[in-house]
Amino acid sequence: MKNRLIAGMTFLLFLAATFVSEAKKIELLSPDGSLKVSVELTDKISYSVFNGTDPLLTNCRLQLNLKNETLGVNPKLIRSKAGKIDETIKPPIAYKNSIINNKCNTLRMDFKGNYSVEFRAFNDGVAYRFLTDKKGEIDVLNEDFVVNFPSEYSGQFSLVRGFKTSCEEPYTTLATTAFVKEERMSYLPVLIDAGKGVKILLSEADLHDYPGMFVKGQGENGMSSVFPKTPLEFGDDGDRSVKIVKEADYIARTVGKRSFPWRTFMITKNDAQLIGNDLIFKLSTPNVLEKTDWIKPGQVSWEWWHDARLYGVDFRSGYNMDSYKYYIDFASKYKIPYIIMDEGWAASTRDPFTPNSTINLKELIQYGKERNVKIVLWLTWLTVDKHMELFKTFHEWGVAGCKIDFMDRQDQWMVNFYERVVKEAAKYDMMIDFHGAFKPSGLERMYPNLMAHEGVRGLEQGGNCKPENSVWLPFIRNAVGPMDFTPGSMNSAQPEDNRYTRANAMGSGTRSFQMALFVIFETGLQMLADNPVYYYREHECTEFMTSVPVTWDETKAIYAKAGDAVMVAKRKADKWFLGAITGNKAQNFEVTLDFLPAGKDFKMTYFVDGINADRQAMDYKKKTMTVNSKTKLPVNMVRNGGFAGVIE
């Protein structure tokens, strides 16, 4: 009996080996069976993705071009292994949900030449990556990420002409057939409308020691990757940048035994699924910090947007002691845990250790400490790179974190700079906000002291930041990670009336729109961009905004039409906060509050657009009502309008 069992097992292993050696197609299904990845092995590795029986992506190609070989050409499959992941993750910083269910099916294919390709299929997306097992270092000359669409789709692209970019471009709507390689490329993420309610959000995760990916048109209804080369030599270019004077012929020189970034596709059957999607987080390296209890996300009072031009005070305003004490007092009154001292606090942008002569920084730190307010300092990346010891010094001073600005690149060198910074900062319990930055790609999971990236057309763009663009952000930019948008204008205006100046800063969108942003937009350090003089004047609005948490136990999109309007409900403990915004069209819809516990009544305090808000954006109404799980709530927003409320 034993011999027959061994013989039978040998025969099964032979069949399996025969299947592997002759396989041309391997399929991978999502756990619910709704998504399918079909991998085909011929003279190349290609794949197609299906939603049910409908093709979403067809004959897509992946390839990794090394100095002396090309991985993915004439692939020789040694073995393939299917598996699954079913785990619960409790992130130390919960930007969307305090519990994340990570459930997917996996496929790993090992090829001759010491490399592998791994796919993962989730119910709301798919991803793949290369893995190599080679000795020493390797030079990656290029990576081919080629996506083809079965029919004409439309997409939201962030178009640029070169790799140096702060990633603050407005979204441009293009048909996929009109995205041609001779014109501009786009940085990630890119949102594709595949029709029938299906959206595909392209991005990347677990980006380490490798450049960020851009995409360009194929000219035939498709896209392909393009990467910046690794810089080798730099020249002087002022106090916040460098000139790249010599580049390598490779995009990355890296260790030969490693995994490469995930190429990610969030695939949603309705727009609401984009809002609470944690795909980038799930695919990224887990937290490496032993302790995270010192990381305290929160709101921040910020002086730069309005240039610290206070009025109605009995001192000369500016970047000086009296003004910063005023900001600290304001933050303390509304229980805002931080203020940022932006450009102007230091005597020189090149010297991080010498404050402006008008400032006694240690006195301000102590003044804030006595009022439960900590200080975050702004710096250029170039100064940080030249003075990495500053994190130790700042920690000794009592500084809580740094806002680091003007990186404007995502080549291998700069991607590594981001990681060097958060790693070094974490040694000294320092939080980091990257401004002038590319999109999040998972580093905030590995180092939770990374609070936010900018990489967004935010309110600091003044009149160029329009609600018609901002209404896309929950579906695109914020879907891949926390962002530094800097909301909170009390001097609200319809876009045609926005006359932003530093003395009289203005933000487009109604007052209710601005308030709703605090609920909708996700970040670890949420700025209050406007003048404290206005916040004092508009006390009931300020009281609401400063009550909104920055981390959440649960996030639900209760109305979502990408590019038109969105409404979210977010829970922190036993309170639910509601936020809704629209673009340049008025919106009227109804939502059911069925996320509330059944059989109980609650009080809702909320802010809506006033009757004249379409003409005078500062017009709003504050109301209260009793609600329960059966309440059908009408939501009426004027153009560029909003809705904000709390249920308790």
Q: How far apart (Å, rounded) are the C-alpha atoms in residues 139 and 259?
A: 14
Tokens 């896209």 appear where? 223
263 Cβ partners below 8 Å, 6+ apart? 62, 127, 128, 129, 145, 202, 204, 213
What distance separates the 2 farthest-apart alpha carbons in the chain? 97
- At 179 the three-state DSSP class reads coil
Q: How far apart (Å, rounded) are the C-alpha atoms in residues 281 and 522?
A: 14
Prior bond of 189 cis (ω within 30°): yes
- At 303 the three-state DSSP class reads coil
Q: How far apart (Å, rounded) are the C-alpha atoms in residues 14 and 2?
A: 18
Return the number of other C-beta atoms located less than 10 Å from residue 81's C-beta: 12
Contact between residue 494 and residue 508 where contact means Cβ atoms under 8 Å apart: yes
Task: Please report, for residues 191, 215, 218, 227, the alpha-carbon distance to residue 181 in angstroms, rounded to integers and kept in the order given.
Answer: 18, 9, 6, 14
- At 204 the three-state DSSP class reads strand
- Residue 405: active-site member: yes
- Residue 460: active-site member: yes
Q: How far apart (Å, rounded) are the C-alpha atoms in residues 419 and 569?
A: 33
Q: Please state whether beta strands 54-66 and 70-71 pair in parallel, antiparallel, or not at all (unpaired).
A: antiparallel
**Token code pair at residue 611:** 């009757």
E strand or H helix that includes residue 563: none
Contact between residue 284 and residue 323 where contact means Cβ atoms under 8 Å apart: no
Q: What is the DSSP string of 381-398?
A: HHHHHH-TTHHHHHHHHT
Q: How far apart (Å, rounded) are the C-alpha atoms in residues 422 and 384?
A: 11
Q: How far apart (Å, rounded) are the C-alpha atoms in residues 551 and 62?
A: 37
Catalytic option among 405, 468, 538, 609? 405
Q: What's at 156, amino acid-wise?
A: Q
Q: How far apart (Å, rounded) are the C-alpha atoms in residues 123 and 100?
A: 14
Tokens 């008008």 appear where? 358
Catalytic option among 454, 460, 468, 530? 460
Q: How far apart (Å, rounded) are the C-alpha atoms in residues 422 and 401?
A: 10
Which residues are bridge partners to 222 per DSSP?
148
Which residues are bridge partners to 597 per DSSP?
none
Which residues are bridge partners to 326 per DSSP?
none
84 burial level (CB within 10 Å; 0-12, 13-18, 19+): exposed
Helix runs in 276-334, H state only? 279-283, 321-333
305: DSSP letter? T
Catalytically active residues are: 405, 460
